[in-house]
A = this chain, B = another copy of it.
């Protein structure tokens, strides 16, 4: 894999080393209005490269991951006469690395790029694997490219000030990686809680390191999502439906929570269709219930949820609903088409497992 993964809490030092290895070219930091205010001043203290760097600010929030903000970055790169050797450091959550990464991928056909994720979700997801992009025409990630950054610097120092909900949101993606990896990795993840009794970032670090490597290994084998990488969609067909439906209902839920509940329901499907072990399913459902609570649905919600699943962009045939499921922990099967009846049965069992029924 092209991308170097550095796990450290000495972020400033790691940046200076990397910039030195790349021959000390021009450096530009892309940050959003939040990270510019709270994180950038600290890094300016700790890193000569960041202190000397140019700075481009984008508006925070997924609603601003759009062509207007991308044009701002392109224009500023052009104004500072950035070259292919210039290093773009994306300092922020997924919005920053997606948009800043896409700018780096396309300015002069590709600049150097280092991701410094400041949220747990970005550390385990957006910052690694080279998916860059923006929303366009009302659709998420409609424009973008596969472009691996030179490096990602993964640390937990930025997480201590994150709201509990954001930590849990990121941890849901870690649980997904654990399910895709092996029983041992999953067991370690289920032993830890990011919120009970309190958030312990020191204990999180080794789990995070192993977890990022799970994703990196999958991406390494299939950068452009022609096969294996689809395994990373586990939990997301139903998760996205929960998320989309919650927006329709005007009481939005966080992405990671939707994924956690989507994972439970897709493990139910895996149990019904592929013999995924019931004991592990129950253990997983209990963990999610304890940490995330439950998304309260009734059978009246089923038709709208299934309609949302049918719109998933992963479906190749518009009438089919396509899943990544598990035969066992660490044994994904991609492109499983499931009938509406089976999905309804799984939603029934989800409600049962979450004590909603």
Contact = CB atoms under 8 A, between A and B. Distances in A.
Interface of A: 67, 71, 74-75, 78-79, 83, 85, 105-110, 131, 133, 136-137, 139, 141-147, 224-225, 313, 316
B137 A109 contact: no
Contacts of A67: 71
Max count, chain B CB within 10 A of own CB: residue among A78, A133, A147? A78
Contacts of A85: 316
A224 B110 contact: yes
Given A110-B145, A110-B224, 9 more contacts: A74-B136, A74-B142, A74-B143, A78-B139, A83-B313, A108-B143, A108-B144, A108-B313, A145-B147
Q: Which applies to chain A's interface (DSSP): helix, strand, loop or mixed?
A: mixed
A146 B75 contact: no
Nearest to A225: B109
A224 B84 CA distance: 11
8 contacts: A67-B71, A75-B137, A78-B142, A79-B137, A83-B313, A108-B144, A109-B225, A145-B145
A105 B145 contact: yes
Contacts of A225: 109
B133 A109 contact: yes
Contacts of A313: 83, 108
